């Protein structure tokens, strides 16, 4: 008998609507609603691709990793692959949508975008975007996707349009607030990316230091310069985020979640989680599933 695993957060793969769509799809909210059907957007999702949407009409609440965003006309939302998100009243909003795989942007552009901010944002308000070329870049991308240009040229233009769009988003500063913080050294970006790749197996700063070729002292200095947290606190932050995702959105047992996050003993995971969240995993699961609304981030 094959042992069936526990229900997990529903993963959504990138499924091109036609053979001529390679890694970048330009669509609309109406279009993805029609393709997905009435039940596609009712539960939490973990996308295997990035989703970027601009709200042209209507308002709706959207949740990304426990932060709630009220989407209004002119706003842009970028949900990145691996994040857990949940649609609100998707029938109440309209606007263009871009879906793209993790390797749709060239490495150089990807590194520039990732290196421009200590923490990448998910939401930009219309006020943030006022005077920026972001909407024009998105309109150019959707026009390029609909063009009848020879296929290889059309795909190349989409790649470049997407890179420009994401770079322009990265350049947008919050309206009426402090400017975005930029990494002080490229090694911080490498450390941050390695945490994303290995948090489920590496919990010690020494493991990252050995892989990156930097001392633990250097990683701690970079972490504090960029975030105010120690290197270990950054690692713990990522582990706890994934634990909270699974406790809130999946039905795996605490022991199964502990194993998936690299803990040999479930009791060690329980103690670890309690130390960081001041409650047990079971208490967090009950609280998060009983919550009537997410914490607002804007």
Give the closest residue to 66 by CA, choosing from 270, 273, 287.
Answer: 287
With both helix axes pointing from N to C terminus, report the angle between 216-227 and 205-212 in degrees, rounded to the nearest 10. Answer: 100
Give the closest residue to 96 by CA, choosing from 157, 42, 28, 36.
Answer: 28
Are residues 275 and 46 in contact, defined by beta-carbon separation less than 8 angstroms?
Answer: no
Q: Please report the pLDDT score of residue 8 as a whole number.
A: 56
Q: Please report the pLDDT score of residue 229 as a whole number.
A: 96
User: Which three-class secondary structure state does DSSP give residue 98?
Assistant: strand
Q: pLDDT 10s per residue in the chain (298 long)?
A: 333 444 456 788 887 777 666 789 999 999 999 999 988 998 899 999 999 999 999 999 999 999 999 999 999 999 999 999 999 999 999 999 999 988 898 888 888 888 888 888 999 999 999 999 999 999 999 999 998 778 889 889 999 999 999 999 999 988 776 666 777 788 998 999 999 999 999 999 999 999 999 999 999 999 999 999 999 999 999 999 999 999 998 889 999 999 999 999 999 999 999 999 999 999 999 998 875 444 444 4
> Given 3.40.50.620, 1.10.760.10, 2.60.120.280, 1.10.12.10, which CATH number is that of 10-171?
2.60.120.280
Rounded CA gap, 7 and 247, in Å?
Answer: 11
Q: Please report the pLDDT score of residue 7 as a whole number.
A: 45
- Fold exhibited by the domain 186-296: Arc Repressor Mutant, subunit A (1.10.10)
Q: How far is CA 35 from CA 16, 27, 87, 131, 160, in A?
A: 11, 11, 16, 34, 27
Total number of residues shown for the chain:
298
* Residue range(s) in the chain whose domain bears CATH number 2.60.120.280: 10-171
């Amino acid at each position: 008998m094959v042992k069936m695993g526990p229900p997990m957060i529903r993963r959504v793969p990138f499924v091109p609507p036609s053979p001529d769509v390679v890694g970048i799809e330009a669509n609309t909210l109406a279009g993805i609603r029609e393709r997905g059907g009435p039940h596609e957007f009712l539960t939490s999702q973990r996308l295997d691709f990035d989703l970027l949407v601009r709200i042209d009409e209507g308002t709706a609440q959207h949740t990304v990793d426990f932060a709630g965003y009220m989407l209004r006309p002119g706003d842009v939302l970028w949900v990145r692959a691996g994040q857990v998100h949940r649609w609100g009243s998707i029938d109440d909003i309209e606007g263009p949508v871009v879906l793209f795989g993790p390797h749709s942007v060239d490495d150089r552009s990807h590194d520039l975008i990732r290196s421009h901010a200590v923490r990448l944002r998910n939401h930009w308000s219309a006020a943030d975007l006022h005077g920026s070329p972001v909407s024009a870049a998105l309109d150019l991308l959707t026009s390029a996707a609909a063009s009848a240009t020879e296929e290889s040229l059309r795909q190349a233009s989409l790649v470049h349009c997407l890179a420009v769009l994401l770079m322009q988003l990265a350049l947008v500063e919050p309206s009426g607030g402090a400017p975005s913080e930029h990494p002080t050294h490229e090694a911080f970006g490498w450390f941050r990316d390695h945490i994303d790749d290995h948090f489920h197996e590496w919990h010690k700063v020494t493991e990252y230091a050995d892989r990156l070729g930097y001392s633990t002292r250097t990683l701690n200095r970079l972490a504090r310069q960029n975030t105010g947290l120690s290197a270990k606190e950054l690692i713990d932050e990522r582990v706890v985020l994934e634990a909270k995702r699974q406790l809130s959105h999946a039905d795996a047992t605490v022991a199964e979640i502990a194993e998936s996050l690299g803990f040999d003993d479930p009791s060690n995971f329980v103690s670890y989680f309690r130390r960081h969240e001041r409650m047990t995993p079971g208490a967090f699961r009950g609280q998060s599933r009983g919550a009537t609304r997410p914490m607002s981030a804007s």
